Amino acid sequence: MANKGMVAVAVGGLLDGRLSKEDRSFNLRYLQAKWVKGLLGNVGNWVWQQVVEYLNTYKEAMSFAELRPMLDGISEKDAEIVIYCEEYTQNENPCTTSQFKHAVKYLERENNQERFLNCLSRTMTIYQEGVKVRGKPVKGFVAAKKYLVESLRKIEEKGSSDGFVNLRDVEEILIESESGQVARNNILFGFDCIDELTGGGQFGELCLVESFANEGKSMFLVNVVWNAVVNHRKNVIVYNGEMTEKQYKRRLICRHSHHPKFELKGGLVYDDVKFGRLEASEKAKLEEVARDFSKNPDYGKLFIHGLNKEDNAVNIWQSVEALGTLRADMVAVDYLALVPPYQKRHFRREELSETIRMFKNFAQNAFSGEGIFLLCAYQANRAGRERAAEQGYYDLQSLEESAEAEKASDVIVWLLQTPELEEQNEVKVGISKSRDSAKLTEAYLYAEYASCYLGNISS
């Protein structure tokens, strides 16, 4: 079924008895103009049929009160969904026309996307493995492109193509697959165990970096940001609520001091830089490192912005796009729970869930749908930390407010620190969720926290 919350808003906009009949009639006409079979899922098609028949018979809009007696005629599962929609509607304020339109447009995009992804999966099978059509083998780029073009035309004939991909985009997907261009556009984390599995972060992805307090979330983000800017010339914006701008820059400088070109074994120690305890030779190196990091034209651009009370998810999105010609490749947020809510809610859980959903929307739809890679530090709950200490890894239930964080995110990386690992200058890492790759059960990174360095363990 499609997104339950959006379906409930769309169904409620048709059947909520608190709305005027005029409003419900308008919503009905609007949905009728946008109608795509399957838009509201299977039960939505049934609801749609009842609403239209009621309108044709009684010349007015239906409400939940009129629909309820008809539930005996459908399956128990479908009836439960209709009841869910009614209860959801009753627990909210009557939805406005703009909310109804937003829900319908969202479901239309979701419906088109699902059909497109199924079509694309079949296309890639033809391209890579081949299929048999009437007993004859069909395989290769030309056959795959022909199938995809014809299939897309059929999809576009069935419903609105507003916001849908065009055929040139589809050809580019196949060409990118053959040339490896997607991998070149990705934002690598800088850790082989993660990059070899995921290929790096992609535009449109929301990646959460999960751990408990003092296990290395912030340091992980610092190292990924550094790698993206220095090694891959990516433009990065950091929204930081964990430390001051000066502290964050100091950590980046210490991380940069590990670059091989400075020939500074062990890098610069953060506390020595902070408290002015450097030797004369180290002071000269500090100046060289800082100058290179800030002025080297071969690096990407980096902006560090301290989180304030105005920096909710919507304002962050608008600020990132307002940079104009400087197109950001990645946004790093440290950490997600410190982002102010877009709207005040009765419970902090509701505010955090809304922020997560908005960030996923931001990752997917920034820059007119091109997307952006969004990397966010995320807190594990205490019970999850206790389980991780026993079982040796974080599970999905370890996420603070785990339901929305688990559903909306594309990748979840976890970090686990123990006294034994700390003695060996190591931290355990894994991937508990990845939409586009296999999971990583466990691996280890070298951790030199004193000089802000995380890296691969030398074989």
pLDDT of residue 165: 46
Helix (H), strand (E), coil (C) string for 329-356: CEEEEECHHHCCCCCCCCCHHHHHHHHH
Segment 404-419, tens digit of pLDDT = 899 899 999 999 999 9
Burial class (CB in 10 A: 0-12, 13-18, 19+), 399: buried
pLDDT of residue 177: 61
pLDDT of residue 176: 59
Q: What residues in the chain have per-residue pLDDT under 50?
A: 1, 158-165, 459
Question: How many CA atoms lie less than 13 Å away from 369 in the CB half-sphere?
Answer: 8
DSSP state for residue 228 in the 8-state scheme: I
pLDDT of residue 164: 43
Segment 431-445, tens digit of pLDDT = 999 988 888 888 999
Segment 346-360, tens digit of pLDDT = 888 889 999 999 999
Between vectors from CA 399 to CA 397 and to CA 401, what angle results, nearest 5°? 95
Residue type at position 398: S
pLDDT of residue 8: 81
The model carries a pTM of 0.65
